[in-house]
Chains A and B, each alone.
Chain A
Amino acid sequence: DSGVTQTPKHLITATGQRVTLRCSPRSGDLSVYWYQQSLDQGLQFLIQYYNGEERAKGNILERFSAQQFPDLHSELNLSSLELGDSALYFCASSVSIAAGANVLTFGAGSRLTVL
């Protein structure tokens, strides 16, 4: 157990729907990162939050949004889902703002299947 908790582990939904993925970071970690992993794109950075504020954006679609709450847990919202959104979504956490200063600890991921 890495200490980073993600729910749900598996999710199957239909095109056009909206889902929310949840992440609880490791105790003491203030930064949360979201990554998308698909077979043809590998691990793609989506977005980062630090202590409730957005810090950096990667290849995140406008249909996707995220937030980090006062208790530091984070949610990734995916809307108007398309078949191509099927992927593993990972949350990672670290103590510091800059990824280079601390190791990212990853959760087990949420597998999203869009039918």
Chain B
Amino acid sequence: GESVGLHLPTLSVQEGDNSIINCAYSNSASDYFIWYKQESGKGPQFIIDIRSNMDKRQGQRVTVLLNKTVKHLSLQIAATQPGDSAVYFCAENIRGGADGLTFGKGTHLIIQP
């Protein structure tokens, strides 16, 4: 089965609100996680990453939280804007692995005006 997955396929939020996108992983050997954003017609674009020795990392308007106890990853986007509308993927890399990132199926974030 797939190691990384997302709880909700679609998330709709009001412009200006905060959004939280969740991701579950099952491989305890995963030591590196990335969130990607994919806009229509484009390739995935790096947003933020976090290593397993951290539980929180902040970027510009985005925060990633990692809970290793329950193998859960979340992406928080503050004050969402129309440009945040996209599909968001979490991805993991297994410690010592050179076999590429394993991606979840993605959550489509829709920003309502």
A115 at the interface (CB under 8 A from B): no
On chain B, the residues within 8 Å of A103 by CB distance are 34, 46, 49
A42 and B100 contact, CB distance less than 8 A: no
B103 and A105 contact, CB distance less than 8 A: no
C-alpha spacing A67/B98, complex, angstroms: 17
> A interface, how many residues as a size bin?
20 to 34
C-alpha spacing A4/B98, complex, angstroms: 20
A83 at the interface (CB under 8 A from B): no
Q: Which of B37-45, B54-62, B68-76 contacts its partner?
A: B37-45
A114 at the interface (CB under 8 A from B): no
B46 and A45 contact, CB distance less than 8 A: no
A109 and B43 contact, CB distance less than 8 A: yes
On chain A, the residues within 8 Å of B95 by CB distance are 100
A42 and B105 contact, CB distance less than 8 A: yes
For A33-45 the 0/1 string (1 means CB < 8 A from B) is 1010000001111
B89 and A43 contact, CB distance less than 8 A: yes
C-alpha spacing A50/B100, complex, angstroms: 12
Minimum CB–CB distance from B93 to chain A (whole Å) comes to 3
B45 and A35 contact, CB distance less than 8 A: no
B97 at the interface (CB under 8 A from A): yes
**B101 partner, pick from A50, A57, A99, beta carbons under 8 A:** A99
Minimum CB–CB distance from A34 to chain B (whole Å) comes to 9
On chain A, the residues within 8 Å of B22 by CB distance are none
Q: Tell me the residues in window 55-113 of chain B with beta carbons closer than 8 Å to chain A beta carbons.
A: 89, 91, 93-106
Given contacts A48-B99, A56-B100, 7 further A-B contacts (CB under 8 A): A56-B99, A92-B43, A98-B96, A99-B32, A99-B99, A106-B45, A109-B43
Give the A-binding residues of B (Cβ under 8 A). Answer: 31-32, 34, 36, 41-46, 49, 89, 91, 93-106
